[in-house]
Chains A and B, each alone.
Chain A
């Protein structure tokens, strides 16, 4: 084949490919918009309860937009079409995590205040005493008393976080309170609830 004959052929092929690619411009644009809308609708809980999956969806969306901007409409369409299943996966994972954290919160919010109350009662009784019980010196007792104030403050923070819908922070704070309550109860020679000792 001579060069003179091959030039039109190559040009024709180029135009064919370009036409095929540009034929997906509209669908790719639409798919990206749909994918973005689906993600926007679900990203609130997604970022809160399944952040890794949410960031993965964002990366795919970003790749689709980059492909589109570079005129790679087939790739953009393919990437955008993969977003919806990923959003569904993220939504399911977020829902499962939210349910798990809510169950944990309900359990902790049942138990931790009882621990704080028990510590308060013991501290009040020891404070009335003329001497400290055997095995508890003034450093331990003052540590328990100041720790109790911290527990009360942190539990208030945890409750406020839950009431504002920030369940991950509420649970994380509640676990810290529970662990600190266990330490204080141990330092005062108190028995630890079975659930808190796990």
Chain B
């Protein structure tokens, strides 16, 4: 899990981020943060501005973890 970027304008920003790694899926990310892969929809909903399809995420994308 990476620390929040130092370039964030608001030093109190509490947005939680996940940098997509090789082999990641939204289900695996949901499993990692919530313990339940079925909660992937929560992550998809929080990242609809950059994700069009929950099955297509790209390495290097930065996803919000609500």
- Contact residues of A with B, CB < 8 Å? 107, 110-111, 114-115, 117-118, 121-122, 125-126, 128-134, 136, 189-196
Closest to A191 in B: B4
Q: Which residues of B contact A122 (CB under 8 A)?
A: 16, 33
Q: Which residues of A contact B31 (CB under 8 A)?
A: 133
State whether the Cβ of B3 lies closer than 8 Å to any Cβ in chain A. Answer: yes
- Contact residues of B with A, CB < 8 Å? 1-4, 6, 8, 11-17, 31-36, 38-39, 42, 66
CB–CB B4/A195 < 8 A: no
CB–CB A193/B14 < 8 A: yes
Contact of A194 among B4, B16, B39 (CB under 8 A): B4
Task: Give the shortest distance, in Å, between A130 (CB) and chain B (any CB).
Answer: 5
CB–CB B17/A191 < 8 A: yes
Closest to B38 in A: A130
CB–CB B35/A117 < 8 A: no
Q: What's the dominant secondary structure at chain A's contact region?
A: helix
Interface centre among B3, B14, B17 (most CB of A within 10 A): B14
CB–CB B34/A128 < 8 A: yes
Q: Which residues of B contact A121 (CB under 8 A)?
A: 66
Closest to A130 in B: B36
Q: Which residues of A contact B66 (CB under 8 A)?
A: 121, 125
Contact of B33 among A125, A194, A196 (CB under 8 A): A125
Q: What 6 new A-B contacts, CB under 8 Å, besides A117-B14, A125-B42, A193-B14?
A: A111-B12, A126-B34, A130-B36, A192-B3, A193-B11, A194-B12
CB–CB B32/A194 < 8 A: no
Contact of A133 among B4, B6, B8, B32 (CB under 8 A): B32
Q: Which residues of A contact B3 (CB under 8 A)?
A: 191-192
CA distance A114 to B39 in the complex (A): 23
